[in-house]
Structure 1
Amino acid sequence: MGTGGAVRGGGRNTGKMLAVAGLCLAIGAGGIGVATAPVWADSELPSEAASPLRNVAGLAAPVVKPVELGVTPTDGARDVNPAALPAVKAVNGAVKDVVLQSEGGAPVPGTVSADGSTWTAGEPLDFNTRYSYRFTIVDGAGRETTKEQSFSTVGTANEADAAVYPLNGSTIGAGQPIEIVFSEPVLNKAAMEKAVTVKVSSRQAVAWRWYSDRRVRIRPEKFWAANTKITVDLKLFGVDFGNGMVGNSNVPVSFTVGPQRIAVVDDVTKTMKVYFNGTLVRTAPVTLGGEDWLSPSGYAVIMEQERRSKFNAGSIGLKPGDKGYYPPLTVEYANRLTTSGVYVHQALESAWGAVGRFNVSHGCVGLLPADAQWFFTNMKTGDVVQTLNTGAAPVEPLEGFGDWNIPWAQYAKR
């Protein structure tokens, strides 16, 4: 009995040791221990598709990775730039049945990437509009989740645009700078210069000069070549002006340069010489500003033309009794050179005897009737008038279009 008992006892100890050894082998080999043995032996693994999403590695393989969702704009976003194309992206999953639309509007078209993970809108949105998203996300196990989100775009009060001169379709003189006036201040001027492209058929390089945050002018180093075609493409839609203001349009503006017409007025000789494409076509005597009203020197550009223009001494600060005062009058063949009132025009009859001999005007260039009529008929807005040897300062850039009086090396400096 004692021997038999010892044998049975030895058997039980051996069994325990074998069990411990098996457990150590399982753990050493990367197993998860005897507590999981009944699962292996007695039951099947639950379907991954029918179980909650797993994010910790367990017995089931393969583990479905969680879907990472990226939606732009984010839910509830406001003042969204309508040029920023909305998108839905699922990492470790796919997107389907995406519907993006404004209230009562048609769905915004879009495309899905080849792998099905990303939907991107195919066209920009409208300003001042609320949009809603509805889309379905599919994970690696085929489970679907539908979501809804909404956002709104930049409101009308934050829209910005610009006006261009010369006007679209016009023919301009060779001295006419391009002027762009923005409805709102432009804080990032370098970005705006990239957004607005200027194409010049003559291949003349151009420079930008910002006179303020809202006004910029563009010109080449020398006058535009004759017959040049110029296109200013204002791709402003979605451009950030700064201060929350966003461009609302893309507008191309094109115009053509006529012949290169330049009139050179010399106070020493009291003459005007007019050149068309470098060829002298007319010489005429002139009278210029008297010693109290010197005609400005340098370059000016014809701003506008009036067959008859009303002149008033009050516009230059004179009142009855002042030296140089004259009553309101009408002049013939008026070609404006500055905003302050310097013109090329037909001299008053009382001044015809001075034309070609001495100066009697208040700064204007006076011509005899036949020459004034010829000038008015053959010169156009944007053409150049250069005045020499008056002793006065050049026309200021914003006193019309005195941009040509700024040296090229300095023109583009802000």
Structure 2
Amino acid sequence: MRGAKVFWGALAAGLAMVAGCAAPEAEVPRGPVAQVRAGPSAGGAAEVSPSAPITAEVVRGRFDLVTLMGSDGSAVTGQIAPDGRSWQATEPLAYDTSYTWSGQAIGSDGKLVPVGGAFSTVAPKRTTGATVSPTDGQQVGIAMPISVKFDEPVQDKAAVQRALSVETSVPVEGAWAWLADDEAHWRPREYWPAGTQVQVHARLFGAHFGGGVYGEGDLRTEFEIGRAQIVKADVDSHQLVVERDGEQVASYPASYGLASDPGRHTGNGTYVVMARVPLQLMTNPKYGYFDLPKKWAVRISNHGEFIHENQANAAALGSYNNSHGCINLSAANAKEYYDSALIGDPVEVTGSGTDMEPGYAMYDWLLSWEEWTAKSAV
């Protein structure tokens, strides 16, 4: 028994020696801790909008160098953030171009990680343009809508509308509406506050108009709303009243459209001053006159309505209505009003036997707010 104890004790000691002499487990090398994401490049992304945000980011590290090179041989201008963790393109890309990422990031462990990947931008079937008004630096009246007119009909109105924005110096509620397939307007719910500064951005480059058609370039305009001038045109009063900044500044004897002939009514509705010309040739074959010259003409509708001088109709001014739809004033009063008018001033006609039908140019204020917002594409 005593000998057995010695045997098992020796065996245990031998096993301990064997265990103690075993080789240590090999240490597996760790990879770099930094992770770089450069997009869009997953799987060689294609059909990317050239106006899409183009960025690269690194986690647990910082960029040492980032380059985005186009297949046309040009490098995209960009900027690494102060903390080194991101890079942002600072210029738009080009249509129908392949782009390749290169560069490197340094991880928090000091190891280098390459920047790589590639993508391509969309190849348009064709590109198209647009124009915007009011023009840059213009001063306009408080009813002036913003108009974006496209060179061809827009199929994807929602995509294009999302590319349009309006910024104002004071809060103004407003909305976009499509008045035609090739024309979108923005108007405030109520008249603009006097003195408002307005910026319009139409970021159309990269926007898909539908059917493979894309915007050829961005548009921008900045304009100012002038003083608050409103014309109150009550046809039954035979007067044209001008209010400026809440105060009446003039009341002119006037003659409106002949009440007994619906074709000659000055229809009810809120019109907008569209143009001013010192001499307008008036033509209406239905009523037998052609190239009739009238001075100090302020156009308020493409239906044919103007505020203008008609000294030959002096007997009717302030007494009865006999015009063909225009608002007649004396020469002196027409000149005074003409000089005070801004494009975009509202002219509110009331008391007529008919309403002006929406559909003629600048009919924005003939629609209720509910009717207006129903024309939005988003």
The TM-score bracket by the shorter chain reads: 0.7 to 0.9
Deviates more, 1:254-263 or 1:239-248: 239-248
CA distance in 2 between counterparts of 1:108 and 1:241 reads 27
Answer yes or no: is the 8 Å Cα contact 1:73–1:80 preserved in 2.
no
Answer yes or no: is the 8 Å Cα contact 2:67–2:103 preserved in 1.
no
Which one has the bigger strand percentage? 2
Q: Which residue matches 2:291?
A: 328
CA distance in 1 between counterparts of 2:67 and 2:36 reads 20
Q: Which residue matches 1:360?
A: 322
Kindly state the Cα deviation for residue 77 of structure 1 after the two structures are TM-superposed. 5.7
- Alignment partner of 2:365: what SS? helix
- Alignment partner of 1:376: what SS? helix
Q: Which residue matches 2:354?
A: 392
CA distance in 1 between counterparts of 2:60 and 2:242 reads 75
Alignment of 1:308 with 2:308, yes or no, is no
CA distance in 2 between counterparts of 1:261 and 1:97 reads 58
Q: Which residue matches 2:90?
A: 123
CA distance in 2 between counterparts of 1:69 and 1:402 reads 51
Q: Which residue matches 2:373?
A: 412
Using structure 1 for the length normalisation, give the TM-score: 0.69
CA RMSD of aligned residues (A): 4.0
Q: Which residue matches 1:263?
A: 231
- Alignment partner of 2:295: what SS? strand
- After superposition, what is the alpha-carbon deviation per residue over 1:65-114, rounded to whole angstroms, capped at 9, x for unaligned? 79999763467765431123456789999998654323342454464998
Answer yes or no: is the 8 Å Cα contact 1:307–1:333 preserved in 2.
yes
Q: Which residue matches 1:216?
A: 184
Answer yes or no: is the 8 Å Cα contact 2:127–2:214 preserved in 1.
yes
CA distance in 2 between counterparts of 1:93 and 1:372 reads 73
Bigger relative CO (Cα 8 Å, ≥ 6 apart): 2
Q: Which residue matches 2:12?
A: none
Residues 1:60 and 1:120: Cα distance change in structure 2 (over 3 Å): farther
CA distance in 1 between counterparts of 2:363 and 2:269 reads 8
- After superposition, what is the alpha-carbon deviation per residue over 1:276-322, rounded to whole angstroms, capped at 9, x for unaligned? 112111111212222241112111111001101122224xxx3xxxx
Q: Which residue matches 2:342?
A: 380
- Alignment partner of 2:290: what SS? coil
CA distance in 1 between counterparts of 2:209 and 2:227 reads 37
Answer yes or no: is the 8 Å Cα contact 1:187–1:213 preserved in 2.
no
CA distance in 1 between counterparts of 2:59 and 2:243 reads 70
CA distance in 2 between counterparts of 1:205 and 1:257 reads 15
Answer yes or no: is the 8 Å Cα contact 1:111–1:122 preserved in 2.
no
Answer yes or no: is the 8 Å Cα contact 1:233–1:251 preserved in 2.
yes
CA distance in 2 between counterparts of 1:68 and 1:173 reads 53
Alignment of 1:187 with 2:156, yes or no, is yes
**Partner of residue 371 from structure 1, selected from 333, 336, 359:** 333
- After superposition, what is the alpha-carbon deviation per residue over 1:169-214, rounded to whole angstroms, capped at 9, x for unaligned? 111011112222345626253x655543323334232233232444
Answer yes or no: is the 8 Å Cα contact 1:135–1:146 preserved in 2.
yes
- After superposition, what is the alpha-carbon deviation per residue over 1:189-246, rounded to whole angstroms, capped at 9, x for unaligned? 3x65554332333423223323244422222232222222222233444444444444
Q: What is the total number of aligned residue pairs between the two structures?
A: 349
Answer yes or no: is the 8 Å Cα contact 2:264–2:324 preserved in 1.
yes
Answer yes or no: is the 8 Å Cα contact 1:134–1:146 preserved in 2.
no
Alignment of 1:347 with 2:319, yes or no, is no
Q: Which residue matches 1:293?
A: 264
Residues 1:77 and 1:201: Cα distance change in structure 2 (over 3 Å): closer
- Alignment partner of 1:167: what SS? coil
Answer yes or no: is the 8 Å Cα contact 2:255–2:316 preserved in 1.
yes
Answer yes or no: is the 8 Å Cα contact 1:136–1:144 preserved in 2.
no
Percent of pairs with identical residues? 25
Q: Bigger radius of gyration, 1 or 2?
A: 1
Structure 1 portions without partners, runs of 5+: 1-21, 23-39, 45-58, 319-323
CA distance in 1 between counterparts of 2:36 and 2:101 reads 17
Which one has the bigger helix percentage? 1
Residues 1:286 and 1:147: Cα distance change in structure 2 (over 3 Å): closer
Answer yes or no: is the 8 Å Cα contact 1:343–1:365 preserved in 2.
yes
Deviates more, 1:168-177 or 1:286-295: 286-295
Structure 2 portions without partners, runs of 5+: 1-14, 16-21
Structure 2: which amino acid aligns with 1:367? L
Using structure 2 for the length normalisation, give the TM-score: 0.75
Q: Which residue matches 2:8?
A: none
Structure 1 segments (4+ residues) deviating >6 Å: 63-71, 88-97, 142-149
- Alignment partner of 1:312: what SS? strand
CA distance in 1 between counterparts of 2:157 and 2:360 reads 26
Deviates more, 1:78-87 or 1:164-173: 78-87
Kindly state the Cα deviation for residue 372 of structure 1 after the two structures are TM-superposed. 1.1
